Structure 1
Amino acid sequence: MKHLTNLLAVALAFSMFFSATSQASNNYKLGAGDTIRIDVYNEPDLSMEYLVSSSGQIEYPYLGKLDVLGKTAGQLQQAISNGLKNDYLIDPKVSVNVVEYRMIYVNGEVAKPGGYHFQPGLTVEKAIALAGGFTERASTKGIRITPSGGGSDLSRLPLTHKVSPGDIIIVKASFF
């Protein structure tokens, strides 16, 4: 009985994780630097991976250039499905998934400053952990984020603040 209870607990944890991950990815807007995988069921010539360029476009067979910048995977999936329907395929089954998210950058008073791949659910604290943690001189209250969307800088953020793809996190030095 205890074994069954543990198994059910693990199954519940996995379902909650995948539900949260898929919910985050349903709202995720594609941008330059993302790697996406497009699969068309039973059509290997139409199934491929793309790195979204700075132009925000991909070149897709039969459909030409497609704008993907700012679209969700679901919106792109629908656009490809509609484009292939009737002229090329009767009832295309298309899926679009993000294989690798674009980078976030952590600079300043961290052990390993640099670029790190975004992951859904990433917080300032987790991003700093990816960068090796704070240095001895780091100010835990002197953290600033430059959002990728071009908004104004955010400062004095809690470590639980959510990070977005493309954000730049800067950890300032403390005076003492």
Structure 2
Amino acid sequence: MKRLMMWMMAVLLGLSFGIAQAADITLGPGDVVKASVYGNPDLAIETRISDAGRMTFPLVGEVDVNGLTVQQAEKKIVGLLQSGGYVKKAQVNLIVSQVASAQVSVLGMVNRPGRYPLEGGKRGVMDMLAQAGGFNADGGDAVSLVRTRNGATTKTVVDVIDIVRNGGTNKDLELAPGDVIYAERSPRFYIYGEVQRPGAFRLERQMTVAQALAVGGGLTPRGTERGISVKRRNGDGSLHVVNVKNDDLVQVDDVILIKESWF
């Protein structure tokens, strides 16, 4: 079932990429741009946009392109070349060879953590998760998105599995430069006592005590399913012990004790 879900997620993420539209890239400090003017090979350059958001272009000097799309920057340079009398009917082409200004950090339980460019216009959390290679073996089903807008920083949890299962791409969130995606570790439960494989295991959604027992390899010859107890944390963090049945649901960080049979 898990493999099927991972395959479904990969398909959905692959479809969400599409083809990047170079004209939609927003320019900013650190970006490297290749520029050319049709019929004027001497005006071809490759330059890095300065910290002030300016690029140096032959004949017209410094051009403020910070926050402009590639298409808008092309039109601006065309206007400067024509208004200055340098080229009568200029056709300017800009290609962004390195994107450094518009980046998003993807951290946590992913296969390729790092910083990734927001190329191709609008990008969502699912796009960037795919760029980072998806969840690794310790990854869970959700990511936390940390965003700063108008001076206020917020944290939003994105349920990736819910989006995949229900096709709810409208629940995906659009990203902006500087956003941070943190892939959470999968929730765990613990089982010990008279089971074949005591230890910590991944907690699947809607997992029952009986299923948790199966994950632990089942009972030892001395084990019993009677009187199973669980150490569970309250909302204030304190521990309490509850008796559970096989069809009860396991909660995050539950510690399940399988007792020895007296008979």
Does the TM-score normalized on the shorter chain lie above 0.5? yes
Match of 1:163 in 2: 175
Deviations 1:27-46 (A, max 9, x none): 44212233322220111121
1:78-132 deviations in Å (ceiling 9; x for gaps): 2211211152122222122333433332112222211233332543223223223
State the number of aligned residues.
Answer: 156
Partner of 2:106: 106
Partner residue in 2 for 1:39: 36
> Aligned-pair distance for 1:175?
4.2
Of the candidates 179, 185, 189, which is equivalent to residue 173 of structure 1? 185
Deviations 1:61-80 (A, max 9, x none): 22121111111222211221
Shift of 1:167: 3.1
In our comparison, the structure showing a higher alpha carbon Rg is 2
In the other structure, the counterpart of 2:136 is 135
Q: Give the whole-Å Cα distance in 1 for the aligned partners of 2:25 and 2:97.
A: 13
Q: Is 1:62 matched with 2:59?
A: yes
Q: Distance in 1 between matches of 2:136 and 2:150?
A: 28
Residue identity opposite 2:58 in structure 1: P
Stretch of structure 1 that moved more, 121-130 or 140-149: 140-149
Answer yes or no: is the 8 Å Cα contact 1:147–1:168 preserved in 2: no
Unaligned runs of 5+ in 1: 1-16
TM-score (norm 1): 0.70
Q: 1:94 aligned to 92, 95, 103, which one?
A: 92
Larger helix share, 1 or 2: 1
Alignment of 1:148-159 (within 5 A): 152-157=153-158, 159=160
TM-score by length of 2: 0.50
User: Secondary structure of the residue that 1:152 maps to in structure 2?
Assistant: strand
Q: What is the match of residue 81 of structure 1?
A: 78
| Conserved? CA contact 1:142–1:173, under 8 Å | no
Which amino acid counterpart does residue 109 of structure 1 have in structure 2? M
* Distance (Å, rounded) in 1 between the aligned partners of 2:42 and 2:95: 17
Rate the CA distance shift 1:131–1:150 in 2: closer, same or farther, 3 A: farther
Cα deviation, residue 148, structure 1: 8.7
Q: Is the 8 A contact 1:147 1:164 kept in 2?
A: no
Hey, what's the Cα distance between the residues in 1 that align with 2:187 and 2:60?
57
- Return 60-69 or 140-149, whichever deviates more: 140-149
Q: What's the % identity of the aligned pairs?
A: 27
> Matches of 1:54 and 1:149 in 2, distance apart?
21
Aligned residue number for residue 146 of structure 1? 147
Measure the CA separation in 1 of the matches of 2:154 and 2:105: 14
Match of 1:9 in 2: none
After TM superposition, which residue ranges in structure 1, 4 or more long, deviate above 4 angstroms? 147-151
Q: C-alpha deviations, 1:139-168, integer Å up to 9, x for none? A: 433421335986633411354333344432
Partner SS, residue 127 of structure 2: helix
> What RMSD in Å do the two structures reach over aligned CA positions?
2.8
Determine if contact 1:58/1:66 at 8 Å carries over to the other structure.
yes
Structure with larger RCO (C-alpha < 8 A, sep 6+): 1
Q: CA separation in 1, counterparts of 2:149 and 2:106?
A: 13
> After alignment, is 111-120 or 76-85 more displaced?
111-120
Q: How has the CA–CA distance of structure 1 residues 95 and 61 changed in structure 2, closer, same or farther, with 3 Å as cutoff? A: same
What residue is the counterpart of 2:250 in the other structure?
Answer: none
Secondary structure of the structure 1 residue equivalent to 2:153: coil
Counterpart contact for 1:107–1:170, Cα < 8 Å: yes
